[in-house]
Chains A and B, each alone.
Chain A
């Protein structure tokens, strides 16, 4: 799976913890850090990933642009997101099939969602 930060806001603690718990759960995680929509979509295509995780520290419009490019370049790979996403923006992303894990989400819930999204059996 691929992990990326959509914004140039450098708070890394959320995405770092998510990267580690997913690796511990057996996922092969490529973390590209702060990346543009084009870079994220190209990485998703080139690495042939089964899942894309986006860390959001900015506006939902930027996430939507990432989503557009991922759909164009990497097809319908599932996408989920976490970060400081206000409730109204989380709703907007949910309408496009992106599940959002806000601050306070449990490690177990995030791992379970990742397994479900790639069609792997739960533990």
Chain B
């Protein structure tokens, strides 16, 4: 039989001992909140602040999203995510675009349909936005300025000073160009430029906002193994930091702004615990050694974890409650600031309200009932096994990081499909392995009394969206909308910061498809360079 190993290929021995501790163990054992931050970003960790309960959510009409967000906050969620529709939002299409019209029933299935600032006003009605951390659904790169801008404009219309809001935009390259490809997307170099605009705008005007957030999760759940996820996340950060440095701006402030990233935990429990610890060390080393950053707040990486959606099975779906719990535990033990647990119905549908509630309950049980878990920081620190794994992963991750740098950097490795190809090849070899998934490969049953039917939401999201867009076009000041779109287009082409112009356009009630048309004209469309 083969020697057991982690998904990253690190061999596992029957037992670990003192000789397996890293040579620089003393340095690494520094308390949490102190460099090199292996043991945590903050001295008190969960005693100071429990991790944020932060669930991916969003489907249907603005009203349906609003209702679900109120429900989640009532259940104990401590931040909220406004996941938007992939068909309209992520492609920047209006609902009457032929690609949308051809599959209108899909609209609203993968996120909420928010087509203008007015829709976002409805979606956030009654939500405590002034003091709740928000992710207004800016996952895909080309959609990020639109998504964030629409949230800020909707807040402003409610009388809130949007520059005081806290939250994050993901605007993530892994999601956009590796994990979840769109049919129409601006090229990665244009994406980097939009992210630069976001980072600059937020650094100047939005002190409590994380402008972009590198989401290793999306690479990992598409096939990148732990050391590749780590190495690629750092390579992505380098692209942002180089842009800032090359513009002659101080890196410290920016580094702090992008120092909130996301990782995946999977059923490879210990490797993923080690990964979170390694990530903080590597972030510290990268920033201090490559950029000379000294601000300790910038050197301490803050981590959001999403548990692996791909670990959730279609068969015997209630088993997924156990998987969600274990993966959430891995996150808690590795040290996180924020956590989302994938729904037990993940392989079947978008989450039902019950699946959402259970993802929250899992986290509440960990926070409230598990003795010591929130009281003691880095409880596995000093474990021969975990310390050894942490160091091994770092070594492999740096090698992968250097490999990306040697072939022209992260953006290049996205643009030419190299990273996507790597993820696809890993997927292929994973699918060939003989499985030991309970309920799927082993311990199966033909008639499960616990089957669930899957949640679908309303089926009229497209019709309602069509009516809202027609209303906006009828009621808005047409000249103002046209002027704002032309100004946005000029900024795109002239390399000016697009964010202030995007806010103007949203305030003039332009629709998402109109912004998409401007982008497609200014930036063109990326061709997926890999045969899938």
**Per a CB cutoff under 8 Å, which of A9, A20, A33, A86 touches B110?**
A9
B83 at the interface (CB under 8 A from A): no
8 Å CB contact of A16 from B182, B349, B532: B532
Contact with A along B60-103 (1 / 0, CB 8 A): 00000000000000000000000000110011000000011011
* Mask of A30-56 contacts with B, CB within 8 angstroms, 1/0: 010110111000000000000000000
Query: In the complex, which of the residues B428, B440, B451 contacts A17, with contact meaning CB atoms closer than 8 Å?
Result: B428
Complex: how many Å from CA A65 to CA B103? 9
Give the number of residue pairs across the A-B interface with Cβ within 8 Å. 117
Q: Is the interface of A mostly helix, strand, loop or mixed?
A: mixed
B428 to A8, Cβ gap below 8 A? no
Establish whether residues B181 and A10, one from each chain, have CB atoms under 8 Å apart when the complex forms.
Answer: yes
Q: What is the distance, in angstroms, from A64's C-beta to the closest C-beta of chain B?
A: 9
A36 / chain B contacts, CB cutoff of 8 Å? 99, 102-103
Known A-B contacts A8-B86, A9-B180, A104-B347; the reply to A16 vs B424 at CB < 8 A is yes
Determine the chain B residues whose CB is within 8 A of the CB of A87 once the complex forms.
348, 451, 453-454
Is A86 a contact partner of B453 (Cβ separation < 8 A)? Answer: yes
A25 at the interface (CB under 8 A from B): no
Closest Cβ of chain B to A106, distance in Å, is 8
For chain B, residues 175 to 204, give those with C-beta under 8 angstroms from any C-beta of chain A: 179-183
B222 within 8 A of A: yes
Q: How far is the CA of A43 from the CA of B303 in the complex (A)?
A: 45
| CB proximity to B under 8 Å, residues A67-120 | 84, 86-89, 102-104, 106-107
Q: Does A28 sit at the interface, judged by CB under 8 A?
A: no
- B236 interface hit (Cβ, 8 Å): no
Select A107's contact among B90, B315, B431, B459, beta carbons within 8 Å: B431
Instruction: Tell me whether B109 is interfacial, beta carbon within 8 Å.
Output: yes
Does residue B105 face the partner (Cβ distance < 8 Å to A)?
yes
A121 to B: closest C-beta gap in Å? 23
B391 at the interface (CB under 8 A from A): no
Complex-state Cα separation, A11 to B86, whole angstroms: 11
Establish whether residues B183 and A8, one from each chain, have CB atoms under 8 Å apart when the complex forms.
yes
A37 to chain B, nearest CB (A): 6
Which B residues touch A57, using CB under 8 A?
110
Asked whether, in the complex, the Cβ of A13 is within 8 Å of the Cβ of B427, the reply is: yes
In the complex, the answer to whether A59 meets B427 with C-beta atoms within 8 Å is: no
Q: Which residues of B contact A59 (CB under 8 A)?
A: 105-106, 109, 456, 459
Residue B58 CB within 8 A of the other chain? no
Chain B, 474-532, CB within 8 A of any chain A CB: 528, 531-532
Q: Is the CB of B532 within 8 A of A15?
A: yes
Contacts of B110 in A (CB 8 A): 7, 9, 57-58
Q: Which A residues are CB-close (under 8 A) to B347?
A: 84, 102-104
Q: Is the CB of B180 within 8 A of A10?
A: yes
The contact string, 1 if C-beta is below 8 Å from chain A, for chain B 22-65, is 00000000000000000000000000000000000000000000
Q: With the chains together, A36 CA to B109 CA distance in Å?
A: 17
A106 to B314 alpha-carbon distance, docked (Å): 13
Tell me, rounded to whole Å, the shortest Cβ–Cβ distance linking B23 to chain A. Answer: 39
A84 B532 Cβ-Cβ under 8 A? no
Asked whether A17 and B103 contact (CB < 8 A) given A8-B183, A86-B454, A87-B454, the answer is: no
Within the complex, the shortest CB–CB distance from A76 to chain B, in Å, comes to 23
Tell me which of A11, A31, A62 contacts B105 (CB under 8 A): A62
Q: Decide: A20 and B428 in contact? CB cutoff 8 A.
A: yes
Which residues of chain B have a CB within 8 Å of any CB of chain A? 86-87, 90-91, 99-100, 102-103, 105-106, 109-110, 179-183, 222-223, 310, 313-315, 347-349, 423-424, 427-428, 431-432, 435, 437, 440-441, 451, 453-454, 456, 459, 528, 531-532
Instruction: List 25 interface pairs A-B (beta carbons < 8 Å), by A numbering.
Output: A6-B103, A6-B106, A7-B103, A7-B106, A8-B100, A12-B222, A12-B532, A13-B423, A13-B424, A13-B427, A20-B428, A37-B102, A37-B103, A58-B109, A62-B103, A62-B106, A86-B348, A86-B349, A87-B453, A88-B454, A102-B314, A102-B347, A103-B313, A104-B315, A106-B441
**Leading 8 A-B pairs by shortest Cβ distance:** A86-B454, A58-B106, A36-B102, A61-B105, A10-B181, A10-B180, A104-B440, A59-B105
Given A8-B100, A9-B180, 4 further pairs, Cβ under 8 A: A7-B110, A33-B528, A59-B105, A87-B451
